[in-house]
Structure 1
Amino acid sequence: MHEVVQGLVAADALENVTLCLIPAGTANITASALGIERLQDGFAAAERGETKRIDLGMADGEPFVMSAIAGLPAAASTAASDGLKERVGTLAFIIEGLRTAREFDGLEVAVDAVTSDGEYAWQGEALCLGIGTLRRFTGENESSNARNGRLEVTIVDRVPPTDAIAEAVERRFLSRETPHITMIEASQLEVVTLDDEPVRFSLDGERREYETVEIGVRPRALRVCVGKEYGSRT
């Protein structure tokens, strides 16, 4: 998926193409977010022909459909081997996450964002930084309709991973404000490392490293086939 969208952007062909995802791989969260859970759902969506235009995130000109993630989740996602994914599926990410948590030192970054209320700045040590288009990191639903021209930015302070999980559960299921999780909606942002090493990101599962990265959104740039479940979020 990532390479396909990259090619469409490079060829300036987004206006001429409709994508339909057939979830044949392991834990295809992009297809699921579009209401396509199973293999047959993908073919049914293509046959039905219902399409939507969704937002496309951009990190220094490189597109992403779901999310750009830095920190512990990105380290676990990119470290999980294909062999482990094939053997245990989604559990591979949990296993690798537990392994990585013992070794992860956190990331020190500065985030400058443009929101509907003006400019927003954050600086410090974080356990993770999540920037979502089709993906939400906390809240009532894990997926959004990705059609509002905004990125959901979630910053988790550097705390023990178990504390971060507990706060995420509180925010998601109990709708409580939590002290170590910051959430904003932004049209664009800049992330700068404050450490000696670049920040490692996962763009839809593809590993990238940046000392400074500009992240924005192209509203409703990508036309996709959607499943019936997606309609409940539009």
Structure 2
Amino acid sequence: MRTPRTIAVVAHQRKTLDGGLDELRRRLSSFGVSELLWHEVPKSRKAPKKVRALLKKKPDLLIVWGGDGMVQRTLDVVAGTKTPVAIMPAGTGNLLATNLGIPANLEEALDIAFHGRRHRIDLGKLGGEHFGVMAGVGFDGAMIRDADRKLKDRLGKLAYVWTGLRHVNGEPASARIMVDGVKWFDDEASCVLIGNVGTITGGIQAFDDAQPDDGWLDVGVATAHGALEWARALGTMAVGRSDRSPFVRTTRARRIDVKLKTKMEYELDGGARSSTKSFSAVVSPGAVKVCLPRH
């Protein structure tokens, strides 16, 4: 593989990994880069505009520096193009990077960017936005909403555990779920998750057989209510297959339609979105090319 010549970087200023952005720039100079295009943003929602500007320059490689929110916003713009993306996992959860085998180590992540294999992965699409990890509503959405930036900065991944404990006794919502046009679930649910990969928030293996390049989305619904049932459900996920829990149902589909009795907030890859009573998610097969470990 030839060394990419024009390298584009879009980076979240508040996120850090090893020596930070100064170290990233220094290390890039050792890869024989002929042109370096560099944009920094203070918030992930500012990224799409910068990414669109970078793509117009037709870079050989786009490096995204940040957490899951930054990666999601970037991939949403890159989807459907030929530009390969390299992830520098500088966030709290780094869920997509973890699922793809990209370590939170700058030297190793850069080696993957320049010498790894290029591989197309699927993305999900919900509400006009692509996501790489998951979309969720209910317990999951409330947990993400309350794990704000200050709490995540202080507690890291424990922020999700802390806020999750505050919502285990929340009222379940009536949900009607269609998978590929067929009714699959119509009852009370405390959480509905749609996943493109297996491991989600807090390192939970929610979808045991999910692969980011299988052309499917996995969908799960949790009916656990209260601390005891949630403890049983999460305990089953920790030691065995999630679908063996009496409080969890999972399947897979190319399209999932969800209707709720009351409005609830949903989240994409750890980022809170608006409240809604209905949404649809579809798979976008091979939507984006990413840099992965050689093995």
Q: With structure 1 as the length reference, what TM-score do the two structures score?
A: 0.83
Shift of 1:177: 2.9
1:132 match: 195
| Conservation of the 8 A alpha-carbon contact between 2:254 and 2:283 | yes
Give the secondary structure class of the aligned counterpart of 1:17.
coil
| Conservation of the 8 A alpha-carbon contact between 1:56 and 1:64 | yes
Higher alpha-carbon Rg: 2
**More relative contact order, 1 or 2 (CA 8 Å, 6+ apart):** 1
Shift of 1:172: 5.5
| Conservation of the 8 A alpha-carbon contact between 1:125 and 1:158 | no
**Residue 219, structure 1, aligned to residue 266, structure 2:** no
How far apart, in 2, do the equivalents of 1:68 and 1:124 lie? 20
- The count of residues paired between Structure 1 and Structure 2 equals 219
**Structure 1 gap ranges (5+):** none
2:153 match: 86
How far apart, in 1, do the equivalents of 2:123 and 2:167 lie? 29
Amino acid at match of 2:156: G
How far apart, in 2, do the equivalents of 1:140 and 1:217 lie? 18
Identity of aligned residues (%): 24
How far apart, in 2, do the equivalents of 1:220 and 1:212 lie? 26
Give the secondary structure class of the aligned counterpart of 1:210.
strand
**Residue 4, structure 1, aligned to residue 35, structure 2:** no
How far apart, in 1, do the equivalents of 2:289 and 2:217 lie? 18
CA deviation profile, 1:18-52 (whole Å, cap 9, x unmatched): 11110112221111111112132321211213121
2:98 match: 32
Give the secondary structure class of the aligned counterpart of 2:225.
coil
**Structure 2 gap ranges (5+):** 1-70
Give the secondary structure class of the aligned counterpart of 1:194.
strand
Distance 1:227 1:26, change over 3 A: same
How far apart, in 2, do the equivalents of 1:90 and 1:226 lie? 24
Give the secondary structure class of the aligned counterpart of 1:15.
coil
Give the secondary structure class of the aligned counterpart of 1:193.
strand
How far apart, in 1, do the equivalents of 2:184 and 2:94 lie? 33
1:169 match: 235
Give the alignment partner of residue 264 of structure 2, picking from 187, 195, 199: 199
2:141 match: 74
Shift of 1:166: 1.5
